[in-house]
Structure 1
Amino acid sequence: MDNHHSGPVETGASMDYAEHEKTYDMFIAGAKWGTMVVVVLLIAMAAGFFGGAGFIGSLLVFIILNIAGAFLLR
């Protein structure tokens, strides 16, 4: 618990803004790609269960939509 700050308490310690921006950009990218994969998985499951595509058809839908999503989200 070695918190020795030289300034007032309100300002706190100095921040590394470059590291903060890098972490924020990584979080946004992970949220974007993770959301895309989950939505594609749900669409592929719906195609397999309700569309009559079966396992192979839903797997193809999953792969094709992931490729299309990767192309669009670049």
Structure 2
Amino acid sequence: MAEHHSGPAETGAPMDYAEHEKTYNFFIGAAKLGTIFCVALLIAMAAGFFSSVGFFGATLLFIILNIAGFMLLR
């Protein structure tokens, strides 16, 4: 039926902690940029739909907000 092991759960190769940290830092950076992108998109959509800036003004606002968010994360 089922095998019962009394040793450690991981008996494979040792962890590559440097690669793990690199992957984790990439994921955190991508999550931050994705959040900035979504927030900028929502703000630009609200400005385009509920004010008189129109499509081109909302697009310009979207680009400006993305640049500002990217600069704040540096």
TM-score, scaled to structure 2: 0.82
Q: What CA RMSD, in Å, does the superposition of the two structures yield over aligned residues? A: 1.2
Alignment partner, residue 9 of structure 2: 10
Determine which structure has greater relative contact order: mean sequence separation of CA pairs < 8 Å that are 6+ residues apart, divided by chain length: 2
Residue 12 of structure 1: CA displacement?
A: 2.9
Identity of aligned residues (%): 63
Whole-angstrom distance in 1 between the partners of 2:29 and 2:11: 29
Give the paired residue count. 67
**TM-score if structure 1 supplies the norm length?**
0.82
Unaligned runs of 5+ in 1: 1-7
**Offset of 1:52 from its aligned partner?**
2.1
CA distance in 1, matches of 2:16, 2:47: 47
Q: What SS is found at the alignment partner of 2:9?
A: coil
